[in-house]
A and B are shown apart, each in its own frame.
Chain A
Amino acid sequence: MITTSRRARLGWNIATYAVLLTLTVFCIFPLLWTLLTSLKYEADIVTQTMQYIPKRITFENYVTIWTQSGFPTLVFNSFVVTATTVVLCLITGTLAAYSFSRFHYPGRGALMLGYLVIRMFPAVLMIIPLFILMRGVGLLDSRFGLALAYTSFLLPLFVWMLKGFFDAAPKELESAARIDGCTRIGAMIRIVLPLARNGLVATSVFVAIAAWNEFLFALMLTTSQGSRTWPVGLQLMVGEFQLPWGVLAAGGIISIIPVMILFAIVQRTMVHGITAGAVKG
């Protein structure tokens, strides 16, 4: 915003910094506190007087959660489910996004709207039938079944977000490629996909983070250690063995590290994709 007087501008600048600083602290403080807690001895957590800066540091909590529970299995399961979800979305969603982005045909608008409306379906409404159906076909309590369930709400997001990235690649490029001798699918693979590479990565990361974090479907659709993901495992540990705060914090930190790394890498492209998809949609 443009203000004329210099003093007024200085005032607004100070206010801006104050707002941003406050919000940043609000956002980051819980994370920092969890990190600190994960590095404290249990005795320093449960004390009479609060320790803001830990007097001594330990990695014992990390060792405990990693070795004395099924945490590595949980993380591995989550990894498999996430990877499967991303692959499912990539294969099916890329094609759909391409169709929506590159062609105009009867029914396109309605179909796109359909893919969008699916986002509105309550998770609970879907979880119950999915539970029954997956039990019927033996996919209950399996990592593939869970990934399949995740595509129900992630595939539409994937398609809409990726469509935005495809739209940014000029249509004439494919015309040129076809005249140069590519088939339609050839033009897509050789010209458009490489061009939309960043978008593909960012969209995949977005879906990966969502799958990695998902809790509700996993809680309902997994019943054993064999397929249980980390959010469910961690939550159940809290309930079952009164997990000490330090260990819980360590588990939390471990599981969000992949999220933070991925977020840091593709943050800008991803933000771009989310806004484009949401605003147009």
Chain B
Amino acid sequence: MSTLTLNGVRKSFGALDVLQSIDLKLEDGEFLVLLGPSGCGKSTLLNIIAGLETPTAGDIRIGDKRVNDVHPKNRNIAMVFQSYALYPTMPVERNIGFGLEMRGVETDTRKRAVDGAARMLQVDHLLDRKPGQLSGGQRQRVAMGRAIVREPELFLFDEPLSNLDAKLRAEMRTEIKRLHNRLGTTVVYVTHDQIEAMTLGTRIAVMKGGVIQQLADPMTTYEKPANMFVAGFIGSPSMNFITGTLVRDGEHVGLTTDGNNPASIRLPRVAANLDALLGRKVVLGVRPESFQADGAAPDLTGTIDVVEPTGPDTLVVLALGNQTITARLGPKLTVATGETLGLSIQPDSISLFDPDSGNRIE
């Protein structure tokens, strides 16, 4: 168990800057999720923490020790890979115990540790098999066993669940959460699955193009995204972005959408005072689930374009001026394409962004 500190970490492959300047501080026992689209440098960052790649610049500290020049095996970390990276030529038992074997741990001690880890992950009946004879889920468990058996200070996971089918993935997600609760080890976990990020992380670092866009706890990331990228990346269906100009609308503030066919939206009450922003061009961000069907006093009214019942709720695509928005409404909704529909927006649920920089306006 330990803290992890990154200071100004950069990495380039030749002319390609993969990581721009990463600063990060993880407290003991934290579960950090690195979330971002493919190619944004998540694995590279993880490999740098592990010592498999050397950073072009910057410091990495585990605990109080600067580990830039420390060999991976001496960093006291364990890593689980997307492909599991089980040694195909060795049986499960040796796979799990290989790290201990390489550290010269005695056979008896090693066997006990392997048995313990295997039992914890329910793979103790598979110890004699080769990885090729295991199912995907079993391999995943063995890979986790290999990581926990050494009782490292820091766990690194690189998309450990992305090769599993949806059901197993949900199961293993719970399992990982349980393990973390039980062992309390600091974790860095890479994924591009936002559900995993929201459910597992104590903090989420959303990355894009080698830069951390936002580093915050899951609810903050969800409710107060730092910029339009984060807002659009987290949540499904993604947040609606409506560009327009802020105007006064009675005692409220309203938004007039852009385009030759403007529509009006009345903004709900928010904590901040928006008066200072009147007349300014903004992007309004509203999550689909922040809308409610409201015939009496709607904040906005649009024409229904598409209706998509998903079971637990109904997705409605609404034409609003020249733009479309998606709303997630109740399951028993009886509306038809072409009708007009009034929606209200939940208080304190909107975000405003600067249209040029994309950054959140507070």
* Direct touch of chains A and B (CB < 8 A): yes
Residues of B within 8 A of A275 (CB): none
CB atoms of A170 and B89 under 8 A apart? no
Indicate whether A179 sits within 8 Å of B77 (C-beta atoms), given known contacts A172-B85, A173-B87, A195-B89: yes
A residues 147-190 touching B (CB-CB < 8 Å): 170, 172-173, 175-183, 186
Indicate whether A181 sits within 8 Å of B79 (C-beta atoms), given known contacts A175-B85, A194-B89, A195-B89: no
Contact with A along B16-59 (1 / 0, CB 8 A): 00000000000000000000000000000001001110000000
Q: How many Å lie between the Cα of A183 and that of B82 in the bound state?
A: 22
CB atoms of A170 and B103 under 8 A apart? no
Interface size class of B (residues with CB under 8 A): 20 to 34
Query: Separation in Å of the A248 CB from the closest CB of chain B?
Result: 47
Query: Separation in Å of the A201 CB from the closest CB of chain B?
Result: 15
Q: How many Å lie between the Cα of A183 and that of B78 in the bound state?
A: 16
Q: How many Å lie between the Cα of A133 and that of B39 in the bound state?
A: 52
CB atoms of A180 and B98 under 8 A apart? yes
CB atoms of B102 and A181 under 8 A apart? yes
Q: Is B81 an interface residue (CB 8 A)?
A: yes
Most A CB contacts (10 A, CB to CB) among B50, B77, B102 go to: B102
Residues of A within 8 A of B50 (CB): 175, 179
Q: How many Å lie between the Cα of A191 and that of B98 in the bound state?
A: 11
Residues of A within 8 A of B88 (CB): 195
Q: How many Å lie between the Cα of A170 and that of B82 in the bound state?
A: 11
Q: Is A122 an interface residue (CB 8 A)?
A: no
CB atoms of A176 and B79 under 8 A apart? yes
CB atoms of A182 and B85 under 8 A apart? no
CB atoms of B73 and A180 under 8 A apart? yes
Residues of B within 8 A of A176 (CB): 79, 81, 85-87, 146
Query: Separation in Å of the A194 CB from the closest CB of chain B?
Result: 5
Residues of A within 8 A of B47 (CB): 175
Q: Is A55 an interface residue (CB 8 A)?
A: no
Q: How many Å lie between the Cα of A175 and that of B143 in the bound state?
A: 13
Query: Separation in Å of the B162 CB from the closest CB of chain A?
Result: 13
CB atoms of B52 and A182 under 8 A apart? no
Most B CB contacts (10 A, CB to CB) among A173, A181, A191 go to: A181
Query: Separation in Å of the B189 CB from the closest CB of chain A?
Result: 16
Residues of B within 8 A of A173 (CB): 85, 87
CB atoms of A175 and B52 under 8 A apart? yes
Nearest A-chain residue to B74, judged by Cβ: A181
CB atoms of A106 and B14 under 8 A apart? yes
Q: Is A104 an interface residue (CB 8 A)?
A: yes
Residues of A within 8 A of B73 (CB): 178-182
Nearest B-chain residue to A183, judged by Cβ: B71
Q: How many Å lie between the Cα of A195 and that of B86 in the bound state?
A: 12
Indicate whether A178 sits within 8 Å of B72 (C-beta atoms), given known contacts A104-B13, A106-B14, A172-B81: yes
A residues 34-75 touching B (CB-CB < 8 Å): none
Residues of A within 8 A of B14 (CB): 106
Nearest B-chain residue to A194, judged by Cβ: B89
CB atoms of B99 and A178 under 8 A apart? no
Query: Separation in Å of the A40 CB from the closest CB of chain B?
Result: 51
Q: How many Å lie between the Cα of A178 and that of B103 in the bound state?
A: 12
CB atoms of A180 and B89 under 8 A apart? no
Q: Is B202 an interface residue (CB 8 A)?
A: no
Indicate whether A179 sits within 8 Å of B83 (C-beta atoms), given known contacts A194-B89, A195-B89: no
Query: Separation in Å of the B60 CB from the closest CB of chain A?
Result: 15
Residues of B within 8 A of A180 (CB): 73, 98-99, 102, 146
CB atoms of A170 and B85 under 8 A apart? yes
Query: Separation in Å of the A185 CB from the closest CB of chain B?
Result: 13
CB atoms of A179 and B72 under 8 A apart? yes
- The one of A104, A175, A194 that contacts B81, using a Cβ cutoff of 8 Å: A175
Q: How many Å lie between the Cα of A178 and that of B87 in the bound state?
A: 12
Residues of A within 8 A of B77 (CB): 179
Nearest A-chain residue to B87, judged by Cβ: A191
Indicate whether A178 sits within 8 Å of B98 (C-beta atoms), given known contacts A170-B85, A172-B83: no
Query: Separation in Å of the B57 CB from the closest CB of chain A?
Result: 19
- What are some 23 contacts across the A-B interface (CB < 8 A)? A104-B13, A170-B83, A170-B85, A173-B87, A175-B47, A175-B79, A175-B81, A176-B79, A176-B85, A176-B86, A176-B87, A178-B51, A178-B52, A178-B71, A179-B52, A179-B99, A180-B102, A180-B146, A181-B73, A181-B99, A182-B73, A191-B87, A194-B89
Which B residues contact A (CB, under 8 angstroms)?
A: 13-14, 47, 50-52, 71-73, 77-79, 81-83, 85-89, 98-99, 102-103, 146
Beyond the given pairs A175-B47, A175-B52, A175-B85, 19 more chain A to chain B contacts, judged by CB atoms under 8 angstroms and listed by A's residue number, are A170-B83, A172-B82, A172-B83, A173-B85, A175-B50, A175-B72, A175-B81, A177-B98, A178-B51, A178-B52, A178-B71, A179-B50, A179-B52, A179-B72, A180-B98, A180-B99, A180-B146, A182-B102, A191-B87
